[in-house]
Homo-oligomer: A and B are copies of this chain.
C-alpha cells in the first residue's frame, strides 16, 4: 500500500463556514508574508553565531523539544531513548533512527495537537516531506531530512534568511558574557538582530540550593560586592546595563507566584544576610524574593527594559526525572496564579510610569477576563502577553482572544510570542498565530462587530506594530 500523503491545506485553521472563511483568507493574505518579530524565545545564540550545521533529525527535532517528547514519555517511551539531554551520550545513528521510528510509529498520539500541526509544517514546508509519518515511512523521512541537513541551505543563518526572522531574542543568564550576541552584532555579513534577554530568576530565589554561590558569582561578574542587599541591587543594575548595552530589550521572570510586596530596606538587608548565611526562614526567603522582584520592576522603570512575567509553574514536578535529566524536560506543571493582589505593590508604584512596560503571561486561563484584560485596560504600563506554552494551541488562543480583546481591545496585546527552543518551528508558530488572528477577526466581521477595513488594520498591528511598541524594537 502506498504511504498516506502529508498535506498542508492552504485554509488550515481558518473557519469552516464558507462566508467567514472567505473573509479570513483575505485577512490572512494581508499579513502572511510580513517578517517575523520574535521578542521572546529559547534558541541558543551559539547556533546562529557559529552557524553550526544541525547533526540529525532526532537531535534537532525530538531530543530538545519537550512538547514532543513528554507525550512520547507518557505513552511509555523512555526519555533517554529519545536522546533527551543530558543523556549519557549522544545517540549514534542506529539509536537516532530507532528514536525517529519510535516517534513516527506513534504519530497518532499527536492527533489534534499543535505538535502535529507544527511538525507537519516543518516536515512539509521546511524539508519537503510528502508522506505521513508512520512506522513504514520513518526511515525514508529520516533519510530525507538528514540529506537536507547536510546542505548549506539548512544551516542556521540560511534558515533565518529563509524564515524572514527580522528580530529574535534569546534567553540568557545575567552572568553570561553575551559573546555570541557581540559576535553577531559585529558581523557585517549578518543582517538579522539577535538580542539577549535578561533572565535572573535563580538569583531572586534565596530558598534555592546554591543561591549564596550564585550571588557570589553575580558579584564577581558585575565587579560589585554582593555581600549586602544593596550590593545585590547594584550588581543587578550593572548586569542589566550590560545586557542593555548588548541589545537586550527585556528581562524575563518566572517564579511560582507573582508576589511583589517589598520589605523595607533594613528588613531586606536582614533577610538577605540571613539568606546568605543559610539561616533564613521560608517566610523570609519568600519575602526577600518578592522584594527582589519589586526591585527588578523598579530597575525596569529606570532602564526601560520591558519586564515579562511568566509565573505559576511547578517546575520539575517529577523528582526522579529532574534528577536524571535536569530542568526543562517536560515535567513542569502549571498551577493557579493570581495577579490582582500580587502585583498591587508594583503597579501602585510604577503602573503609570511612562518608562515602565510590564507584559503579563499566564498558563492559568482563568486570568484572561478576570485579571489580565482588566489590568491592561487601565494601567498604561501593562500589556497582555499572548498564550504561552501549554496554551499556545489553536483553541486556547481563540479562547484567549475572545476573552481578552472584548475588554481591553487589541492595542493592549503583546503580539505573538513563540517562546520556543524548536528553531525550525518558528515560522509555523507565527503562521499559526496569523491564521488565528484572521479567524478571530473574520468572525467579528461576519457578525458585524467590526468592519473589514478595521479588521485588516488590527491584523497588521498585531504582527507589525504591537511587538515593536511593547518591546521597543
Chain A contact residues, CB within 8 Å of chain B: 4, 7, 9, 11-20, 70-71, 73-76, 108-114, 117, 314, 317-321, 330-331, 333-336, 338, 340-341, 344, 347-348, 351-352, 354, 363-366, 369-371, 373-380, 382, 390-391, 393-396, 399, 402-403, 405-412, 443-444, 446-451, 453-454, 457-458
Contact = CB atoms under 8 A, between A and B. Distances in A.
Nearest to A351: B318
Contacts of A443: 16
Q: How many of these chains are in the complex?
A: 3
A406 B378 contact: no
Contact of A374 (B16, B333, B354): B333
Contact of A396 (B114, B318, B364, B369): B369
A124 B87 CA distance: 61
A409 B371 contact: no
Contacts of A369: 363, 365, 390-391, 396
Contact of A109 (B378, B396, B411): B411
Given A370-B336, A406-B114, A13 B448 contact: yes
B375 A333 contact: yes
A405 B296 CA distance: 37
A110 B458 CA distance: 11
Nearest to A314: B340
A4 to B, nearest CB: 7
B9 A448 contact: yes
Contact of A403 (B338, B396, B409): B396
Contacts of A19: 16, 18
A253 B20 CA distance: 43
A153 to B, nearest CB: 28
Contacts of A408: 71, 74, 113
B363 A370 contact: yes
B380 A76 contact: yes
Nearest to A366: B366
A112 B444 contact: yes
A39 B122 CA distance: 40
B112 A406 contact: yes
Contacts of A450: 111-112
A227 to B, nearest CB: 35
A454 B111 contact: yes
Contacts of A14: 447
Given A76-B354, A333-B374, 10 more contacts: A4-B451, A7-B451, A18-B19, A75-B380, A108-B411, A111-B457, A112-B410, A317-B348, A336-B366, A396-B406
B314 A344 contact: yes
Nearest to A442: B16
A317 B347 contact: yes
Contacts of A114: 406
A446 B20 CA distance: 13
Nearest to A317: B344
Given A380-B76, A410-B112, A458-B112, A340 B335 contact: yes
A351 B365 CA distance: 25
A429 to B, nearest CB: 14
B412 A74 contact: yes
A35 to B, nearest CB: 23
A374 B112 CA distance: 15
8 contacts: A73-B380, A111-B409, A113-B407, A320-B352, A335-B338, A365-B369, A373-B390, A399-B403
Closest 6 CB pairs of A and B: A9-B448, A16-B446, A393-B406, A12-B448, A395-B402, A112-B405
A376 to B, nearest CB: 7
Contacts of A370: 334-336, 363-366, 390
Which among A340, A371, A406 has the highest number of chain B CB atoms within 10 Å?
A406
B394 A406 contact: yes
Contacts of A318: 347-348, 351-352, 378-379
A455 to B, nearest CB: 8
B396 A453 contact: no
A11 B449 CA distance: 10
A453 B4 contact: yes
A472 B12 CA distance: 37
Contacts of A330: 378
A428 B117 CA distance: 34
Contacts of A447: 11-16
B449 A73 contact: no
A318 B334 CA distance: 29
